[in-house]
Amino acid sequence: MTTVPTAPTLLPVLDAASCCEPIARAPLAADQADQLARLLKAIADPARLRLLSLVATQDDGEVCTCDATDVLGLAQPTVSHHFKVLVDAGLLTREKRGVWAYYALVPGALDALAGLLTTTTATTTGPR
Residues near DNA, by CB under 7 A: 41, 45-48, 64-66, 69, 74-85, 94, 96, 98-101
- Range in contact with its own copies (rule: CB under 8 A) among 4-12, 80-88, 94-102, 113-121: 113-121
By the rule CB under 8 A, 125 interacts with its own copies: no
- Residues 20 to 79 in contact with its own copies, rule: CB under 8 A: 23-28, 30, 33-34, 36-37, 40-41, 43-47, 49-50, 52-54, 56-57, 71
Look at residue 40 and give the partner it binds from DNA, its own copies, none, a contact being a CB closer than 5 to 8 Å depending on partner kind: its own copies
- Which among 9, 13, 7 is positioned nearest to 90, based on CA atoms? 13
d(CA 46, CA 52): 10
- Burial call 93-110: b when 16+ CB within 10 Å, e when fewer: beeeeeeebbbbbbeebb
State the minimum distance, in angstroms, from the CB of residue 11 to its own copies: 19
When asked if residue 118 is in the footprint of its own copies (CB under 8 A), the reply is yes
Q: Pick one of DNA, its own copies, none as the site partner of residue 90 (Cβ within 5 to 8 A by kind).
A: none
Half-sphere exposure of 102 (CA within 13 A, CB side): 10
How many residues lie near its own copies (CB under 8 A)?
Answer: 36
Looking at the chain, the number of H-run helices and the number of E-run strands are 6, 3
The residue among 3, 83, 86, 103 whose CA lies nearest residue 75 is 83
Selection from its own copies, DNA, none that 80 binds (CB < 5 to 8 A by kind) is DNA
